[in-house]
A and B are shown apart, each in its own frame.
Chain A
Amino acid sequence: MRRFELALPQSLDDCLKILAQHGGRARPVAGGTDLLPQMKNGVLKPALVVDLSGIARVRQIVNGTGLRIGAGVTARELEVSPAARGAYLAIAESAALVGSLQVRNLATIGGNLCNAAPSADMAPPLLALEAQMVVAGPRGERRVPIADFFTGVRKTVLAPDELLVELIVPPPGAHSGGQYLRHTPRRELDIAVVGVASQLTLADGRCTKARIALASVAPTPVRAVAAERSLEGQAVTPAAIERAATLAIEAANPISDQRGSAEFRRHLVRVLTRRTLATALQRAGA
């Protein structure tokens, strides 16, 4: 790794001041599990790294009206969080799949999202649960729906002087259930070839709300809107699930790369959408 200066702000305000002062030559670091490999490989060469680990505000999980997750909460903390494992199970499931335990104890939800890899595991469940991102900057805080957050491969709406501080996940309500599944060749220490999160809300035997989100099939994590629409207002029968699984493929625009071909990715979208919908249905009913 090349040399850099390191700032150690103890508050969000200090951090924002440093970012405002240094702009594009500074990079915030949380868990470092995405940033450091890119710095070691020479993809990123920041002159200043700003450590976020001293900022208490970003490290909390608060379960109230919805779930508030600090951007600095680690994947492991989410994985075992009773609050997340309750109504927001798909989030905990996605957190449990990141890297290895050694990585999950460092990697943060904010880092996973701000790194903006198409394969980010925590993005699909948050998309399916329609999370809001709280972004702090020199002009104060703003909220960004997660659907608007990603703008391209490793690109987000964040300005260089802005920082993601928190996620607010609205409560899915009664009779709602979700699941995140991904495919990887290995069981641990791997990265999603395709990831799918589904969240279903039911009333009177019909689906009132369906949300399906996909990872690793487009430049950004994406919602499978046509598949969602095909379910809403309908009874979630095996045939309806199969139809939605097929429609989900339309939302995918995968490339072929070292992790899988476009053909396999489309195949997996169908399989994993089918499976997550079936589980979501079961969990929504339970």
Chain B
Amino acid sequence: MSTMKTTRDIKGVGVAIPRPDGPEKVTGRVQYVGDIKPKGLLHAKLLRSPHAHAKIVSIDTRAARALPGVRAVLTAADIPELKRKAPTRAHAVLAIDRVVFAGQPVAAVAADEPAIAEEALDLIEVEYQVLPAAVDPLESMQPGAPPVADAGTEADTSEALAHSAVAMAKSETPTKAVNVSQTSRVTRGDVAKGFAESDVVLEHTYRVPMVHQGYLEPHAVLAEWDSTGHLTLWASTQGSFNTRSEVADVLGIPENRIRVIPVECGGGFGGKIRALCEPITAVLAKVTGRPVRYVMTRREELEAGMPAPQVIIKLKTGVKRDGTLVAIDAETVIDSGAFSGAVLAVSAVFLGSMYKWPAFDLRGFEVLTHKPSVAAYRAPVAPQTIFAIESQMEQIARDLDLDPVEFRMRHLIQEGDQMVNGQPWQSNGAKQVLARIAEHPHWKSRKQWVAAGGNGKRRGVGLALGGWLGGLQPTGATVRLNPDGSLAVLTGQVDIAGTNIALAQIAASTYGVDTDLVRITTGDTDTAPVTGLSAGSKTIYTVGAAVLQAAEDARRQTFEIAAKELEASVHDLELVDGKVVVRGMPDKGITLAAIGKKGNLYMSKTPPVLGRANPAFSQQAPGFAAQLARLEVDPDTGEVTIHDFVVVQDVGKAINPIGVEGQMQGGAVQSLGMALTEGLQFDDTGRLTNPSLLDYRKLTAADLPSLETIIVEVPSPAGPFGARGVGEPPIVPAPAAIANALQDATGARLTELPLSPERIALAIARGAART
């Protein structure tokens, strides 16, 4: 007799199952946009402004149009849908009469070959009148700075909404400073009095440059119109429905005339949420009547992608000698580039309410500059903010000779504590995560490890805590029972990291079959239920909840059919080994296959099982991660060797530990890149000086140790099986953890990212010169 499998021990949630499309990915058979080659394909290229700020005096495209093999040359004048005062980057398809960042598209070409399109770009003559550029955000926010947006352009707050990360006390109307596009302020208590009463007042300015999301596949899109006026876009996107809406809005096309097919996405990390090159590619396809593909070059990605903003945080804290927190004052300046759209609120929440500050005054400014406009990058503004507050907390503990973990633990928030925006903290595992990392042998033995160094190197150990509030977005899913008793799950969820297998596991555990009986499909905007973005650590939390509810619905329908067939009450039924049986009577049952067949039989009176759910959400599930680094510094060159790196994260429930650990490891390495080597560097004229992956340094395997991951599970009240989002938290703590470890090693407190060898070595040399 075979062992009976009940719902409780089916192969579903919690099991480490490799993603089923793994073989497709390791054989190179998976197709990305650049791999699709329809008949008659044309290749698009964009002419981009070399100037950060200039008036376009004239554009002459005649020579380009005359080049054989060129099928279309467009400027803004050829696209009547374009409007001035573009509120978002997507709307600024081609510059109308002024360019506002170096790399902004000015003209577009479609040609038979990429090489011909490039030659056509060379033949386009643009006369610019170069204007003064606002490059530094602190200067740009001063009155009299060269204006970036056209007067009257509305601020774009949709990014904050897209992330649903945090509501904020309402933003104030921008002041008269021309380039300040959004402001926010939250206060409580008397901060000035607090500082006066503090024993230790510490003031630092923390700086984080623009960083690029660094996905390996550059932006790519393929557009084709059919003869009935319907547009199909094969897009590398994090959300097909979002892409459809943006393209419809920009080009004035009804949404039901656009079909977005989310092709395998070669990485996004927030950079492929907003539309970028889809509108112009669609226009080129329209005017040529041919399929047109546009793939950005890496140089274009770095010069004119949508990176994370530069963030400058001027932070002042006051504490008592015994470590009692008294007051915090901060000014966060977010350089959003040439278009509005940054998330302002995250900074205030984590500065003012990860630890309990009785008095705070937290001001935020989104400032426009003549640089590429920004977008989300995995936990937008959280790593930058945590770099500031966790560096500061460490420094306070050191100054007061307090244990850095105990000091943090004493002030750390827990469920129910108020955030600076007045909302309560939802259930979270911040304390558990911090406690867990403090138990790690690397932390406990840190003094011995540091002392055991030598060879002219200096050793240090550091840690930091950080988190993410958790994203929300309405979404839909269906679960069907196939005639053979297997399940078909359909969402529009773009699976980048392997979320589909976790969704399948949720369906399996909820419905009561093994995961290998669940096939999950990502549909396009014509076929799938409306599905939210693959972003904000919310796929499992929200789409997982939809799949769970749809699977419950399918199970309920299945049981109703079985009850009828078995002439039993649904309450007496259970699902065992693919068969719905009357509890206690294993012989009285009907297989799922039989139920499935009945739903697809000519003249059958049994309805097909179609579970569906389309939930919206209100309760966030914050996720926290703590990271610890043991490192060694060469004090002469500033070179850092990371010996060990530990990631502890509260994931609520690890639906699929493979996917969860993959997120923890990948996020941590992005965080380490931000900490150590990455940064877009602009010169005084607003031109990028490091537009290649040689000079924009993402970490390689040789720069890193193997990462240790420790999963903590503090169930979220509303998430499927208690799960929380796992994508964002691991990118948050490393810059602060590394800065803290570097201070441990060298005594130097570095407040500007990246913590490059140059900054480290010169700080040590200057320190040595002083003593």
CB-based contact A263/B697 at 8 Å: no
Taking CB atoms, residues of chain B closer than 8 Å to A261 are 758
Complexed CA–CA distance, A201 and B702 (Å): 34
CB-based contact A258/B690 at 8 Å: yes
CB-based contact B762/A2 at 8 Å: no
Nearest residue (CB) in A for B637 is A183
Contact of B702 among A37, A41, A187 (CB under 8 A): A187
Complexed CA–CA distance, A189 and B677 (Å): 13
Indicate whether A185 reaches chain B with its CB closer than 8 angstroms: yes
Render A1-37 as a binary contact track against B, CB cut-off 8 A, 1 for contact: 1110000000000000000000000000000000001
Indicate whether B765 reaches chain A with its CB closer than 8 angstroms: yes
CB-based contact B115/A185 at 8 Å: no
Q: Which of the candidate stretches B116-124, B555-563, B609-617 sits at the interface with the other chain?
A: B116-124
Taking CB atoms, residues of chain B closer than 8 Å to A2 are 115, 118-119, 122
Contact of A187 among B690, B693, B700 (CB under 8 A): B700
Complexed CA–CA distance, A267 and B119 (Å): 44
CB-based contact B637/A189 at 8 Å: no
State whether A1 and B695 are in contact (beta carbons under 8 Å apart), knowing that A258-B689, A264-B758 are contacts in the complex.
no
Indicate whether A186 reaches chain B with its CB closer than 8 angstroms: yes
Complexed CA–CA distance, A77 and B694 (Å): 23
Taking CB atoms, residues of chain A closer than 8 Å to B677 are 185-186
Indicate whether A190 reaches chain B with its CB closer than 8 angstroms: yes
Contact of B757 among A183, A191, A257 (CB under 8 A): A183
State whether A42 and B697 are in contact (beta carbons under 8 Å apart), knowing that A188-B702, A258-B681 are contacts in the complex.
no
Taking CB atoms, residues of chain B closer than 8 Å to A37 are 692
CB-based contact A42/B122 at 8 Å: yes
CB-based contact A268/B637 at 8 Å: yes
CB-based contact A189/B700 at 8 Å: yes
Indicate whether A260 reaches chain B with its CB closer than 8 angstroms: yes
From residue 373 to 427 of chain B, which have CB atoms closer than 8 A to chain A?
none
Indicate whether A144 reaches chain B with its CB closer than 8 angstroms: no
CB-based contact B703/A187 at 8 Å: yes
Nearest residue (CB) in B for A181 is B637
State whether A263 and B700 are in contact (beta carbons under 8 Å apart), knowing that A183-B757, A191-B695 are contacts in the complex.
no
Taking CB atoms, residues of chain B closer than 8 Å to A264 are 758, 761-762
Complexed CA–CA distance, A188 and B677 (Å): 13
Taking CB atoms, residues of chain B closer than 8 Å to A175 are none
From residue 170 to 207 of chain A, which have CB atoms closer than 8 A to chain B?
183, 185-191, 193
Indicate whether B636 reaches chain A with its CB closer than 8 angstroms: yes
Indicate whether B756 reaches chain A with its CB closer than 8 angstroms: yes
* A195 CB to nearest chain B CB (Å): 13
Indicate whether A49 reaches chain B with its CB closer than 8 angstroms: no
Render B275-311 as a binary contact track against A, CB cut-off 8 A, 1 for contact: 0000000000000000000000101000000000000
Render A149-188 as a binary contact track against B, CB cut-off 8 A, 1 for contact: 0000000000000000000000000000000000101111
Render A36-48 as a binary contact track against B, CB cut-off 8 A, 1 for contact: 0100111001000
* A48 CB to nearest chain B CB (Å): 15
Taking CB atoms, residues of chain A closer than 8 Å to B86 are none
Residues of B in contact, count (CB < 8 Å): 31
CB-based contact B636/A271 at 8 Å: yes
* A47 CB to nearest chain B CB (Å): 12
Render B732-769 as a binary contact track against A, CB cut-off 8 A, 1 for contact: 00000000000000000000000011100110010000
Taking CB atoms, residues of chain B closer than 8 Å to A45 are 122
* B623 CB to nearest chain A CB (Å): 30
Nearest residue (CB) in A for B693 is A189
CB-based contact A267/B116 at 8 Å: no
From residue 227 to 286 of chain A, which have CB atoms closer than 8 A to chain B?
257-261, 263-264, 267-268, 271-272
CB-based contact B639/A183 at 8 Å: yes
Nearest residue (CB) in A for B699 is A186
* B764 CB to nearest chain A CB (Å): 10
Residues of A in contact, count (CB < 8 Å): 28
CB-based contact A3/B639 at 8 Å: no
Render B113-151 as a binary contact track against A, CB cut-off 8 A, 1 for contact: 011101100100000000000000000000000000000
* A51 CB to nearest chain B CB (Å): 18
Which of A40, A263, A271 has the largest number of chain B CB atoms within 10 A? A271
Nearest residue (CB) in B for A257 is B689
Taking CB atoms, residues of chain B closer than 8 Å to A193 are 758
Contact of A267 among B114, B702, B756, B765 (CB under 8 A): B765
Complexed CA–CA distance, A1 and B297 (Å): 11
CB-based contact B703/A191 at 8 Å: no
Taking CB atoms, residues of chain A closer than 8 Å to B689 are 257-258
State whether A263 and B637 are in contact (beta carbons under 8 Å apart), knowing that A41-B299, A185-B677, A258-B681 are contacts in the complex.
no
Complexed CA–CA distance, A203 and B681 (Å): 49
* B619 CB to nearest chain A CB (Å): 43
State whether A185 and B757 are in contact (beta carbons under 8 Å apart), knowing that A2-B115, A259-B695, A268-B637 are contacts in the complex.
yes
Complexed CA–CA distance, A191 and B758 (Å): 15
State whether A191 and B299 are in contact (beta carbons under 8 Å apart), knowing that A2-B115, A186-B699 are contacts in the complex.
no
CB-based contact A263/B756 at 8 Å: no
Contact of A3 among B116, B637, B757 (CB under 8 A): B116
CB-based contact A271/B702 at 8 Å: no
Complexed CA–CA distance, A252 and B255 (Å): 62
* A124 CB to nearest chain B CB (Å): 17
From residue 43 to 94 of chain A, which have CB atoms closer than 8 A to chain B?
45
Taking CB atoms, residues of chain B closer than 8 Å to A258 are 681, 689-690, 695
* A248 CB to nearest chain B CB (Å): 14
Contact of A185 among B118, B119, B697 (CB under 8 A): B697
Taking CB atoms, residues of chain A closer than 8 Å to B758 are 193, 260-261, 264
Nearest residue (CB) in A for B692 is A37
CB-based contact A271/B115 at 8 Å: no
Nearest residue (CB) in B for A3 is B115
Contact of A1 among B115, B636, B756, B762 (CB under 8 A): B115
Complexed CA–CA distance, A37 and B702 (Å): 24
Complexed CA–CA distance, A3 and B116 (Å): 7
Nearest residue (CB) in A for B678 is A185
* A273 CB to nearest chain B CB (Å): 11
Which of A37, A258, A259 has the largest number of chain B CB atoms within 10 A? A258
From residue 630 to 670 of chain B, which have CB atoms closer than 8 A to chain A?
636-637, 639
Complexed CA–CA distance, A80 and B430 (Å): 51
Taking CB atoms, residues of chain A closer than 8 Å to B702 are 186-188
Complexed CA–CA distance, A206 and B74 (Å): 72
Contact of B118 among A1, A188, A257, A271 (CB under 8 A): A1
* B441 CB to nearest chain A CB (Å): 27
Complexed CA–CA distance, A210 and B674 (Å): 41
* A245 CB to nearest chain B CB (Å): 11
Contact of A263 among B676, B703, B762 (CB under 8 A): B762
Complexed CA–CA distance, A259 and B297 (Å): 22
* A153 CB to nearest chain B CB (Å): 15
CB-based contact A185/B756 at 8 Å: yes
* A77 CB to nearest chain B CB (Å): 21
Taking CB atoms, residues of chain B closer than 8 Å to A3 are 115-116, 119
Taking CB atoms, residues of chain B closer than 8 Å to A268 are 637, 761
Complexed CA–CA distance, A185 and B118 (Å): 33
CB-based contact B762/A267 at 8 Å: yes
Taking CB atoms, residues of chain B closer than 8 Å to A40 are 297
Complexed CA–CA distance, A261 and B299 (Å): 23
Render B188-203 as a binary contact track against A, CB cut-off 8 A, 1 for contact: 0000000000000000
Contact of A271 among B114, B116, B119, B637 (CB under 8 A): B637
Show 17 residue pairs from A and B whose CB-CB distance is below 8 angstroms, ordered by the A residue: A2-B115, A2-B118, A2-B119, A37-B692, A42-B122, A183-B637, A185-B677, A185-B697, A185-B756, A185-B757, A186-B700, A187-B700, A189-B700, A264-B761, A264-B762, A267-B762, A271-B636
Which residues of A pack against B, CB within 8 Å?
Answer: 1-3, 37, 40-42, 45, 183, 185-191, 193, 257-261, 263-264, 267-268, 271-272
Which residues of B pack against A, CB within 8 Å?
Answer: 114-116, 118-119, 122, 297, 299, 636-637, 639, 676-677, 681, 689-690, 692-695, 697, 699-700, 702-703, 756-758, 761-762, 765
Known: A2-B118, A3-B119; 8 extra A-B contacts, CB below 8 A, are A185-B676, A187-B700, A188-B703, A189-B694, A191-B695, A259-B695, A267-B762, A272-B637
